[in-house]
């Protein structure tokens, strides 16, 4: 069993990579649009939406244009790990950015 089988890399196609990246950016853009409509200030924390916007956007785009990739790759256990790890990694990266001075707020 090679690394490709262990990590599911045989399913990682240029299309899926593009859709994941573009979807993450579109998810963040959509969240920012609604954040402004709710009169939240730039940099103001919006719990939950700030952590999951990129995941929701990435999977929305994948489900629209490459649903077979999601079915073949995302098992319930992987989905659970995405839900658990996303806010932890997001928060950790923001705290590091704040500590080294490239972010004004730690969220």
pTM over 0.85: no
Closest CA to 107 of 28, 21, 92, 37: 92
Q: How many helices (H) and strands (E) does the chain have?
A: 5, 0
Written as six digits, the tokens of 105 are 């707020």
Query: For residues 96 and 107, what is the distance between their CA atoms, to the nearest angstrom?
Result: 10
Per-residue pLDDT of the chain (107 residues; tens, 9 = 90+): 555 555 556 667 888 889 999 999 999 999 999 999 999 888 788 888 888 999 999 999 999 998 988 888 888 999 999 999 998 998 899 999 999 999 988 87
């Amino acid at each position: 069993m090679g690394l490709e089988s262990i990590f599911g890399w045989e399913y990682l196609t240029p299309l899926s990579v593009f859709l994941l990246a573009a979807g993450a950016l579109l998810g963040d853009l959509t969240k920012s649009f609604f954040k402004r409509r709710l009169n939240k200030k730039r940099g103001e924390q919006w719990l939950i939406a700030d952590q999951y916007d990129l995941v929701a956007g990435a999977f929305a785009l994948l489900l629209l244009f490459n649903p077979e990739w999601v079915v073949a790759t995302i098992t319930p256990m992987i989905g659970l790990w995405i839900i658990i790890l996303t806010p932890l990694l997001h928060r950790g990266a923001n705290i590091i950015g704040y500590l080294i001075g490239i972010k004004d707020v730690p969220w």
